[in-house]
Amino acid sequence: MNPTRITVAFDPATAALLEKISKETELSQSEVMRRALRFYSENKMLLDPAVKRKVYTYMDLLLSGEHVILDVDHWILILNLLKSLPDQEKFWDAHRTVAQSHRDQLKSKFHTAEEVLVRLEACNFFRLIKNSDKDFTLILGLEQSKKFVKILLEEFFAAIGVQAEIKENLTKLNVYVKP
C-alpha cells in the first residue's frame, strides 16, 4: 500500500515538540503523527468537560492508593452482612468517624453541595440528577446503601457549611440545599 503524502506546516514550538517526541520514542516523525492522530481519534471524548472531569476524579481517587474498586456484588454482601450484626450502631458510629476524616481531608476541594455530589457520584454510590441549582435527586443503585450515603452527605455538607434537607425514598435520596 502506497502511503498518502501530506504536507503540514508547524510553528517552531510544535516542530520542536515533534522532533523531541520522535527522538524520545525512536520513531519516525511520520509514525509519531500517525499514532497521535489514532490516539486523538480514540480519545476525543475526553474533550467533553463532563467526561474529562470524571476521568480526573477517577485518577484522583485511584492513583493515591486510598481507594479501591469494589464489585457491586461484594458491596451488597457487605451491606447485607451489616444487617446481621448484633450491634449495628457501632458500625454506623465508625462510618461517621471515617466520613468525618474524609470530610476534613477534602473540605478544601469542595465549596458547593453540587461539587460534593458530583464527587460521590463518581464513586458509583448513586446517579445524580440535578433538578435545579438547589434541588438534586440521587438514584441509588442499592436501597441498602441509603444510610451509608446519607451519613457521607451529612458530614461533607457540614464541612463546607452547607445546610441541606435530605429526604429518603425507597431507592432515592432527595437533597434540597437551603439558602
Q: Which CATH architecture has domain 46-177?
A: 2-Layer Sandwich (3.30)
Average pLDDT rounded to a whole number, residues 152-159: 90
Rounded CA-CA distance 123/60 in Å is 11
Q: What are phi and psi of 29, to 5 degrees?
A: -60, -35
* 46-82 per-position pLDDT tens digit: 889 888 888 888 888 888 887 888 888 898 898 888 8
* 10-49 per-position pLDDT tens digit: 999 999 999 999 999 999 999 999 999 999 999 999 889 8
Rounded CA-CA distance 6/50 in Å is 34
Taking the domains of the chain in order of start, what are their residue ranges? Answer: 46-177
* 79-119 per-position pLDDT tens digit: 888 888 889 899 999 999 998 888 887 778 888 999 989 98
- Contact status, residue 163 vs residue 177, Cβ threshold 8 Å: yes
